[in-house]
């Protein structure tokens, strides 16, 4: 099933940010089947429950990929599946979204706590703030933010909160080290949510995988330049196919 790629979206904004990328990938390779799998709508932040649901709904023996939280979950699912996963690609996806003693290139815990408190008090306003942070560093941040927010589904507040709680506790370093298949991790140079330095930190952790930094781009670079990102992914898939 090397011709099938499943993409998982990030927190809160639904599948629409991934749709232009999926279309661009299909345009580059008519044999590649690209599908976007929505994240589970759970009011639990238990990683095993999220992975159980994804493992049941995501096709086996496919490439797994994702944006931000979706990339972190794809990494965990890839490690869980092992040889039943063709390979992994992540977009603006930090091994740990929140900084801690062993992973400094991430969002400060205090900032995240404030974000979580905001979501609990006013989910809609927090989602708007989140879309602005996703678009920070883009050529047209306000336009990109509106585009992100415009496609966002009406998610239950409890589901949004459980997603944030999961994001706070996830640390995919062991999963990334355990997964033996090919990996591509793309980061953005002007990302307002995942520091660009995370790319270098990940390269130190995983010296044998492909890691790229798109210099002048925001956290939502997949929506800023879907054709450019699709080209990088297609080159990686083609290279792996030639091995």
Give the pLDDT confidence of 159-174 residue by residue, as tens digits: 999 999 999 999 999 9
CATH number at 118 reads 3.40.50.1820
Q: What total of structural domains would you count in the chain?
A: 1
Task: Choose between 140 and 2: higher pLDDT.
Answer: 140
The whole domain housing 71 covers: 4-242
Checking if the pLDDT of 1 tops 70, the result is no
Give the span between the Cα atoms of 65 and 234, in whole angstroms: 13
Q: How do residues 201-224 score in pLDDT, each as one tens digit?
A: 999 999 999 999 999 999 999 999
Average pLDDT, the chain: 95
Q: Which residues participate in catalysis according to the annotation? A: 68, 191, 219
CB-CB contact of 172 with 73 (8 Å): no
Q: What is the CA radius of gyration of the chain?
A: 16
Runs of H (alpha helix) within the chain: 19-28, 47-57, 69-81, 109-121, 123-135, 141-150, 157-169, 173-178, 197-205, 221-224, 226-242
What is residue 242's predicted lDDT score, i.e. its pLDDT? 61
Checking if the pLDDT of 94 tops 90, the result is yes
CB-CB contact of 55 with 77 (8 Å): yes
What is residue 204's predicted lDDT score, i.e. its pLDDT? 96
The pTM score is 0.97
């Amino acid at each position: 099933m090397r011709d099938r790629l499943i993409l998982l979206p990030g927190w809160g904004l639904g599948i629409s940010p991934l749709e232009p990328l999926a279309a661009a990938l299909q345009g580059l390779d008519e044999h590649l089947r690209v599908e976007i799998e929505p994240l589970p709508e759970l009011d639990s932040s238990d990683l095993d429950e999220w992975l159980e649901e994804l493992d049941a709904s995501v096709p086996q023996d496919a490439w797994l990929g994702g944006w931000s939280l979706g990339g972190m979950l794809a990494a965990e699912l890839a490690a869980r599946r092992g040889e039943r996963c063709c390979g992994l690609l992540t977009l603006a996806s930090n091994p740990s979204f929140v900084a801690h003693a062993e992973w400094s290139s991430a969002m400060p815990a205090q900032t995240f706590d404030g974000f979580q408190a905001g979501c609990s008090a006013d989910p809609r306003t927090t989602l708007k703030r989140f879309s602005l942070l996703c678009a920070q560093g883009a050529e047209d941040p306000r336009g990109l933010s509106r585009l992100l927010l415009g496609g966002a589904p009406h998610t239950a507040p409890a589901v949004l909160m459980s997603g944030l709680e999961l994001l706070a506790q996830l640390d995919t370093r062991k999963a990334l080290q355990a997964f033996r298949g090919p990996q591509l991790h793309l980061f953005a140079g002007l990302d307002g949510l995942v520091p660009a330095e995370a790319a270098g930190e990940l390269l130190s952790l995983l010296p044998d995988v492909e890691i790229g930094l798109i210099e002048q781009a925001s956290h939502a670079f997949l929506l800023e330049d879907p054709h450019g990102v699709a080209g990088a992914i297609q080159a990686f898939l083609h290279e792996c196919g030639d091995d």
